[in-house]
Amino acid sequence: MNAIKELRNTTQMSQNKFATYLGIPVANIQHWEQGVTTPPNYLVSLISRIMKNDGYIRNDLTPSEIDVIRQTKATLAIEQMQLSDEGISEIERLVKGEISREEFQKKLREKRER
């Protein structure tokens, strides 16, 4: 799992810009993304909260939720599906347990049929 890279990609910032945004050394971002070191889960959650506050994401996300979103995006990309903001929002709802997998799949089928 690389939650930091996934969060950074959400902002579309370079590593340097993301480090400046967070007020931490760029080497930390580089090491976390390369797997040299692993940030504590509380830090990933804190960064998620900052990003929510700044409007980059809709909800605070835990590292495991970020990983599920990343894996789902990868799966859908493999299937050559385009994700809109609405689709990403639905994935977040699925991960948070707000909708069932069946409801999510039904929405995907309906969207494909349109």
- Final residue of a domain: which of 53, 73, 91? 53
Q: pTM of this prediction? A: 0.54
Asked if residue 35 and residue 70 are part of one domain, the reply reads no
Q: Which domain holds residue 8?
A: 3-53
Q: pLDDT digit string (tens) for 42-63?
A: 888 888 888 888 888 777 777 7
Q: Does residue 11 sit in the same domain as residue 44?
A: yes
Beta carbons of 41 and 62 less than 8 angstroms apart: yes
Asked whether residue 58 is domain-assigned, the answer is no
Task: Give me the pLDDT at residue 1, please.
Answer: 46
Q: Does 32 fall in a domain?
A: yes
- Name residue, tokens 């990343």: 70
Alpha-carbon distance 69 to 105, whole Å? 15
Q: Are residues 80 and 105 in the same domain?
A: yes
Out of 2-11, 23-32, 53-62, pick the least confident. 53-62
**Counting Cβ atoms within 10 Å, is residue 110 exposed (0-12), middle (13-18) or buried (19+)?**
exposed
Do 48 and 68 reside in the same domain of the chain? no
